[in-house]
Amino acid sequence: MKGHTNNPKGRKKGVPNKITIDLRQWIKDFIDDNREQIKKDWKGLEPKDRIILFEKLLKYSLPTLQATTVTTDFEKLTDEQLDFIINQLRNSKQ
């Protein structure tokens, strides 16, 4: 049975891991307590290093985007739908 363990006292589905919660709180507290020092250190970084750090920090504030692929079976489209697509492509190049 998927998701079944022999530990009846285990964490229930959907309940966050306590260690993860504690670690996130510790990081938040650390940043709050050292905010001014972080700002000073930021200003002391080379522009290239600021960009690298900024990019790394974004991973913790923005959701990760997943690549998507769009496929079309052109044989299933009507002639009118194909004409519409062709016209849209022609107009986008002008």
Read out DSSP for the chain?
Answer: -TT--S-TTSPPTTPPPHHHHHHHHHHHHHHHHTHHHHHHHHHHS-HHHHHHHHHHHHTTTSPPP--------GGGS-HHHHHHHHHHHHHHT-
Residues of the chain with pLDDT under 50: none
- Return the domain boundaries, the chain: 18-92
Contacts of 45 (CB under 8 A, 6+ apart): 53
pLDDT at 37: 94
pLDDT at 46: 94
pLDDT at 50: 92
Q: At what angle do helices 35-44 and 18-33 cross, to 10 degrees?
A: 70
